[in-house]
Structure 1
Amino acid sequence: MTQFVVTQQVRAPAATVWAVLVDWPRHGDWAPLTSVRVTSADATGVGAAFVARTGIGPLAFDDPMTVTRWHPPSGDEPGRCEIVKRGRVVLGTAWFSVVPLPGDRSRVDWGEDVTVTPHRLTRFAGPLLSLAGRIGFGATLRAMAREAEKQAGRA
């Protein structure tokens, strides 16, 4: 089991940050070697489904996900999205929250609690996978923040 949480401050309003984060295909713009496609009729709300494909050629894998909680930020109230990962390689949950901050700023907290298969080979690699997750998602959230700040006219 691999767990991690990454936090990123963003110079953009929570509604803008939320809109950027839930534009699932755009995640491929920030996450290296990743493309995302929506597989459900509706890309928003509980039940929205999408697949992230990560890697190169035969080393790529699909990471199918479904939204299980959808609560956009409203006023001073934070938003939260929870996702179940149900792939052959990555299983578990992911979530993010968007917390409004003073001055039209936000904080994004992104967490994952996943198992990477084959578990018999990866079960002892939890700390290393957690570190890789924090590094990778940290870079991804910084790139997302730049996009949200650009959309908010603060880049």
Structure 2
Amino acid sequence: MANFLLHRTVPLPLDEAWRRLTEWPRHADAVPLTRVRITTPEPTHQGTLFVARSGVGPLSFDDPMEVTVWQPPGDDTPGRCRLEKRGRVITGWAEIEVRPGPGGRTRVVWREELRVSFVPGIVDGLLERTARYVFGRAVNRLLRQA
């Protein structure tokens, strides 16, 4: 199991940082070899289901997720989203928060607990470092691109 925490402070309004991080299909642009498909009617809300499919050909797997908390930000009030990962290969959860930061900037906090089936606990450290790197790059890319 990997637990990691990412912090970013960005020169974006709260609602724009939120939009960039929670438009689920955009995650496919930020994570290599991944496609995202929303399986419930939009817009996103508590109960929204989507699937990230990662890999190539027969080496692909689905990462189904459900939005279990959906609290978009208001005018200077924080926003919070929680995703539950419910796949056969990947389980766990992710939380995304946006809150007012210094100088009119937005503070982003991304927390995640990730479990990968068939991966022994002895490699948890490697899994955590790899996940922090991959998700850190994805968060950076999502926040940079309008």
Hey, what's the Cα distance between the residues in 2 that align with 1:122 and 1:97?
30
CA offsets per residue over residues 5-36 of structure 1, 9 Å max, x none? 11222211010111121111111111111111
Q: What's 2:117 paired with?
A: 117
Aligned twin of 1:34: 34
Segment of structure 1 superposing worse, 83-92 or 4-13: 4-13
Shift of 1:42: 2.8
Q: Which runs of 5 or more residues in structure 2 are unaligned?
A: none
- The percent identity for this pair of structures is 45
**Given the alignment of the two structures, is residue 58 of structure 1 paired with residue 58 of structure 2, yes or no?**
yes
Map 1:44-123 to 2 at 5 A: 44-118=44-118, 121-123=119-121
Distance, in Å, in 1 between the alignment partners of 2:58 and 2:24 is 23
Q: Following TM superposition, by how much is the alpha carbon of 1:104 offset from its aligned partner in structure 2, in angstroms? A: 3.6
Query: Partners in 2 of 1:60 and 1:110 — Cα distance?
Result: 25
Contact 2:21 2:143 in 1 (8 A): no
Give me the whole-angstrom Cα distance separating, in 1, the residues matched to 2:109 and 2:55: 25
**Aligned equivalents of 1:117 and 1:25: distance in 2?**
25
Alignment partners' CA distance in 1, 2:121 and 2:100: 37
Gaps of 5+ in 1: none
The letter for the 2-side match of 1:126 is D
Q: Does the 8 Å CA contact 2:92/2:115 hold for their aligned counterparts?
A: yes
CA-based RMSD: 1.3
Contact 2:9 2:101 in 1 (8 A): no
Question: With structure 1 as the length reference, what TM-score do the two structures score?
Answer: 0.88
For residue 85 of structure 1, report the CA deviation from its aligned partner: 0.3
Runs of 4 or more consecutive aligned structure 1 residues displaced over 4 Å after TM superposition: none
Q: Secondary structure at the match of 2:74?
A: coil
Q: Distance in 1 between matches of 2:113 and 2:14?
A: 24
1:7 is the counterpart of 2:7: yes
Q: How many residues align?
A: 146
Q: Which amino acid aligns with 1:139?
A: R
User: What TM-score, normalized by structure 2, do the two folds share?
Assistant: 0.93
Counterpart amino acid of 1:50? F
